[in-house]
């Protein structure tokens, strides 16, 4: 569990720095990730890097990891607080989410997201 928590700490730190190259280093070649903007799924680090770069031109997302739990099926759940802002800094949403990671050989193979609590602001 310590390895998974250390990995996810590095992942969220890279994401919050907008260091998508560093973040991509933690992804399996066929990683499967939800497209939270347009729906569907994205596959592979290149698709994700493009997705993050595209989103970064419209919004700023900051994610704070609150806790990490090993699930009975072998996946790892990270409880996070996610704040989405427009480029002017106005908060669009403040959401508690559960990020469920499937890890393989120390890499992220899949991410699934469950919204736990959403507090939108005008």
Q: Which CATH number does 2-120 carry?
A: 3.10.450.50
**Cα separation, 87 vs 84, whole angstroms:** 10
Residue 37: per-residue pLDDT: 85
pLDDT along the chain (122 residues), means of 10: 91 94 95 93 94 92 96 97 94 94 96 78 46
Residue 122: per-residue pLDDT: 45
Residue 118: per-residue pLDDT: 59
CA distances to 71, 72, 74, 95, 107 from 14, rounded to whole Å, are: 24, 28, 24, 20, 15
Q: Which residues, including other chains, have CB under 8 Å from residue 67's CB and lie 6 or more apart?
A: 78, 79
Residue 24: per-residue pLDDT: 93
Sign of the C-alpha dihedral computed for residues 100, 106, 109 and 37 taken in this order: positive
Element (H, E) at 2: helix 2-17
Residue 51: per-residue pLDDT: 93
Torsion of CA 6, 28, 85, 19, to 10 degrees: 70
């Amino acid at each position: 569990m310590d390895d998974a928590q250390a990995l996810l700490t590095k992942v969220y730190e890279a994401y919050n720095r907008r260091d998508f190259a560093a973040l991509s280093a933690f992804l399996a070649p066929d990683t499967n990730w939800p497209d939270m903007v347009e729906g569907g799924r994205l596959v592979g680090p290149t698709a994700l890097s493009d997705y993050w770069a595209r989103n970064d031109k419209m919004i700023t997302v900051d994610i704070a990891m609150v806790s990490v739990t090993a699930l009975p099926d072998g996946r790892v759940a990270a409880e996070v607080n996610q704040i989405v802002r427009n480029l002017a800094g106005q908060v669009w949403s403040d959401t508690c989410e559960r990020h469920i990671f499937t890890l393989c050989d120390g890499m992220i193979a899949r991410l699934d997201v469950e919204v736990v609590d959403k507090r939108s602001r005008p």
